[in-house]
Amino acid sequence: MNSEIEKKLWRRVRRYVGVLRIVPFLRMVAVCNNLAFGKVDERSDIDLFIIAKRGRLFIVRLFVTFLLHVMGVRRHGGKVAGRFCLSFFVDEDGMDMKEIAIDNDIYLAFWVRTMFPVIDDGVSEEFLEKNEWVKRYFENDFEMDKSRVIGGGGILSKIFEWILGGWFGDKIEGVLKKWQIKRANKKTENVDLSIASLVVEDHILKFHNIDRRREYRKKWFDAYGREEKLDLEKFLSV
């Protein structure tokens, strides 16, 4: 771990993620993967996990992507280091991670355990309740760490929600859903599906071109066996 790089990346989170409070129907933004693990280097990006209100997943994705792109901090193409990776969106009906879990998915359990909400209207509690199943992988019970939360939605988000509520919002959501799913499915044509984890559904959008969950599971079982409870330090060492 490089503590200076870690501090720099967290400063970028505080600097840019606050802008997302204007996004309508946004319930949570959480930092996950390497930065949440405290395992970064000069090539690291910043992975975000995002929860939208029910029926507004595609509107939220458009707003978040647009805002971070115009600020020049969205990961795309070869622009990776220090940028925000927007590869995992769900709405309230897609919060149970068991739906995408593999057998003995210790990586996914570790991922849930270590994420840091930075925008949260209280849905983090609901998310953790939906994913009580991950706690069996750990010796002790835990709550989600909210020490880095900068607040929930702002005034502008409420205005946008009023504009995009009701039938008009439903219409916009439908158009965006059709467009985004079509684009997402086209991208899968250039991805090796044998090593990727891609989910393009009504309530979940997940784009991970390389899925290392089976690799980490094997390493953990080889090192500690199947019955050993997950330990943060041990897991990061495998």
- DSSP secondary structure letters along the chain: --HHHHHHHHHHHHHHGGGGGGSTTEEEEEEETHHHHT---TT--EEEEEEE-TT-HHHHHHHHHHHHHHTT-B-BTTB-TTPEEEEEEEEGGG--GGGG--TT-HHHHHHHHH-EEEEESSHHHHHHHHTGGGGGGBSS------TT---S--HHHHHHHHHT-HHHHHHHHHHHHHHHHHHHHHHGGGS-TTT-EEEESSSEEEEESS--HHHHHHHHHHHH-SSPPB-HHHHHH-
Provide the pLDDT for residue 2. Answer: 63
CB 51 within 8 A of CB 27: yes
For residue 193, the model assigns a pLDDT of 67
Residue pair 88/15 in contact (Cβ under 8 Å)? The answer is no
What is the distance between the alpha carbons of residues 229 and 209, in angstroms, rounded to a whole number? 28
Q: What is the residue extent of each domain of the chain?
A: 3-237
Would you state the pLDDT for residue 130? 96
| CA dist list (Å): 197 to 100, 135, 144, 163 | 9, 23, 25, 35
What local confidence, expressed as pLDDT, does residue 108 receive? 96
204-208 sheet: strands from edge to edge = 116-120, 26-32, 46-52, 84-91, 204-208, 197-200
pLDDT reported for residue 29? 97
What are the residue ranges in the chain where pLDDT is below 70? 1-2, 193-194
111: closest CA among 229, 5, 16, 32?
32
- Residue 152 token pair: 């929930």
pLDDT number for residue 134: 96
Taking the C-alpha atoms of residue 203 and residue 57, their distance in angstroms, rounded to an integer, is 7
